[in-house]
Copies of this chain bind each other. A is one copy, B any other.
Amino acid sequence: MSTFVASVFIGTSVDGFIARQDGDIDWLNEHGEKAGDTGYDAFLAGVDTIVLGRATFEKLLSFGPAAWTYGDRHVAVLSTTLPDDADPRVTVHRSMDALTETLTARGARHVYADGGQVVQSFLRAGLVGRITLTTVPVLIGTGIPLFGALVSDLSLTHESTQVLGGGLVQTVYTIER
């Protein structure tokens, strides 16, 4: 039994993409600037562990040191290809099982699962307790989808919805586990 619950806090286009196919999120940032307080800082304050996929991790690095806002939280990267010693700030894990074992051993309590692949893996593993979904008012047509295949339907419980600046709509769902 895992000690932790995972949350997703992510923005998508109305057609459900978290980035363009090449990882570009300019469209997201452009709209995000108008949002006002998205609640992200308050959310991050309650998180002790961040899990990223390799693509999200490398995208984050490309933004430079200032983009690393995780402080001294444990950052785990889920990847079959990233070298173990890729970055002193992260631990690297080869599978969901190995990751879950490590997080449990470390006593993780509140995990922030970020990036499409990681979110999908966590959803399929039944580890996600809360999704904060912020929808940006644009259709981009193609890109990297947030959601993917599931073993079976996953029922969500609607908790709240608020309209942020710039017409962003933020909805919080919880998932019973």
Among the stretches A57-65, A68-76, A141-149, the one at the interface with B is: A141-149
| Pair B156/A148 contact, Cβ less than 8 Å | no
| Pair A141/B153 contact, Cβ less than 8 Å | yes
Quick one: which of B138, B148, B152, B153 contacts A155, CB cutoff 8 A?
B138
Q: How many copies does the complex hold?
A: 2
Chain A residues 137 to 177 lying within 8 A of chain B, measured CB to CB, are 137-142, 146-158, 161, 163, 166-169, 171, 173
Q: Taking the complex as formed, is A14 at the interface, i.e. its CB lies under 8 A from any CB of chain B?
A: yes
| Pair B140/A155 contact, Cβ less than 8 Å | no
Q: Which of A16, A27, A148, A168 has the most CB of B within 10 A?
A: A16
Q: Nearest chain B CB to A75's CB is how many angstroms away?
A: 26
Q: Is the interface on chain A under 10, 10 to 19, 20 to 34, or 35 or more residues?
A: 20 to 34
Which B residues lie within 8 Å of A141 (CB)?
147-154
Q: Taking the complex as formed, is A5 at the interface, i.e. its CB lies under 8 A from any CB of chain B?
A: no
Chain A residues 13 to 32 lying within 8 A of chain B, measured CB to CB, are 14-16, 27
| Pair B169/A153 contact, Cβ less than 8 Å | no
Q: Taking the complex as formed, is A133 at the interface, i.e. its CB lies under 8 A from any CB of chain B?
A: yes
9 closest residue pairs by CB, A with B: A158-B167, A141-B150, A15-B147, A137-B156, A139-B154, A16-B16, A137-B158, A141-B149, A161-B169
